[in-house]
Each structure stands twice: as structure tokens, then as C-alpha cells.
Amino acid sequence: MTIIDAPSGNSSEGAQARAERVTITKLKAMKGRGEKIAMITAYDYYTARLVDGAGIDAILVGDSLGQVMLGYDSTVPVTMDDMIHHTKAVSRGVRRALVIGDMPFMSYSLSPDEALRNAARFMQEAGARAVKLEGAAVAPTVERMVAAGIPVMGHLGLTPQSINVFGRHKIQGKTRESAARILRDAILLEEAGIFALVLETVPTPLAALISNRLSIPTIGIGAGAGCDGQIQVVHDVLGWDPNYTPKHAHKYANLGPILDNAFKEYISDVQAGRFPAQENSFPMDETLLEGLET
């Protein structure tokens, strides 16, 4: 497979600006200037190259890979080794974007020491420059990680690792009580030291309120335009599944039918003998084969 270099822009100045590493400090500065932050998930080297070359600010190697890459029905079965494997691949494809490793189910809940060791694996083995944790109960763990030099992103609202508690994916924070709890949890996590907060599937007014209350960036997924940035699953925005698009997503491409047609055409050409053609094959002096038939 031929690997095509990522876009380099029309000027050396533009290429240098794109090659400059995005840091947590830069993300915070973007919020201060009112600049929106663009994030996306990626799980492999080539996708990471493409989105990084396009100018994405940050890439989350999400435990959603359990569903879109590994075929599980939730994120719960994803292991640390799964996450390290995919984060390594993404890190190798990135020059500019901030790479964030999503700590999987139970990798930070059993003990503070184990949580710290697992977070360190993302940094040392996989090349991530930050990690993400779900929920507010992890605030003491966040403090310990930040003190150890590990940047942490928080995640509130619909937290997929708690799907067995929620029962199903549903909007969080619709009542006054639950909205107040999410706001309190957001403030608690900021005080613990997170550099940014993902708000997933919460009402737009609540997400906007939290965004205004916090000094750190909020990154929305199904949380409306009032957040400081947005994140989407790459497979959703590319339309890999022609039969499903989450309400919070927008298809910027419709690759599912294109890929389906391409595979069917390939199968048809192989079966009919149309592929490989002469231009796909390598010649030689056939006299060199004389006498080899028997």
C-alpha cells in the first residue's frame, strides 16, 4: 500500500504553523480567545495521519473502538492492552494534534496506584500526551495524576462505561436536580485539575451554562453549540454505517455505500477474470521459463 504524505499547505509558514504541537495550554488559550476546538476520534495510523494533516486540534483514541473497531456491543469489554495498541498506532501518525488516551473500564477504579500505572502506560508506551477519565468520583485520582505530570480530561453527562447503570443511552441533566449535580461535578473536576471536560448528551442550555462557569474548555458531543469545542466519532462523520447516524452527528461523507459498491465491483472483476489486468501485472522474458513446465 502506498502511503501518501499528509497535506503540507501552500507556504512554509502555513506548514510550520500546522506542524506546531497542540498542547493543553494552547487549548485553554483558544477558549480564552473564543476560538472553537475541533476534536475527533481515531483508532489507527492512517486515519490519524489524515485528520492530523487536515488540521484537527486533538484526537481522542476513544474506548468507543470497542464498538466500531472490535465489534463489541459496548465499551465495557475494552482492555488496557487494546487501548495501548491503538493509541500507539495513532501516535505514530500524528505530528501536530494533541493525542488523548481514553482510560477503559476499571483501569482507574480499583486503586489509585493502579490508575497511575495505567495512565503512565498511555504516556510512556503509547505516546499519548493526556488521558481521559469518566465521572466525578475520580476527582482524587485526577489530583494524583496531575501532580505526577499527567494531564487529564474529564467526562460527564452520558458516560458510556456506566451503560449498565444507565440501562440505555439517554440524555443526562434534564431535571433541575440532575442538572445541578452535573454542574457541581464539573466544578469539582476543574478544581481537581482537569484541563478540559467532555460533556456528552446533555441539554444545550446546561452545557452552555457549564461552559460559562468553567475556565477550562468544554468539548461537546450531543451538547449543543455553546461548548468550547466539539468531538465526534470518525465513523459517524464519514457515514460508514448507511443505516445509522446518531442525532448528535452529521455525515460529512457517506462512505458506507461507496465502500459497498467498491467491494462488489472488486469481487465481480476477480470472478470474471477482469482483474488483474495487464497494467496490474509484471512481465518477464518468457523464454526463461522454457523447460520448466514439466
Report, as residue numbers or ranges, the catalytic residues: 200
**Cβ of 171: how many Cβ atoms within 10 Å?**
16
DSSP per residue, the chain = -PPPPPP--SSHHHHHHHHSPP-HHHHHHHHHHTPPEEEEE--SHHHHHHHHHHT-SEEEE-TTHHHHTT--SSSTT--HHHHHHHHHHHHHT-SSSEEEEE--TTSSSS-HHHHHHHHHHHHHTS--SEEE--SSTTHHHHHHHHHTT--EEEEEES-GGGHHHHSS------SHHHHHHHHHHHHHHHHHT-SEEEEES--HHHHHHHHHH-SS-EEEESS-TTSSEEEE-HHHHHT-STT---TT---S--HHHHHHHHHHHHHHHHHHT-SS-GGGS----GGGGTT---
Quick check: 218 and 197 in contact, CB under 8 A? Answer: yes
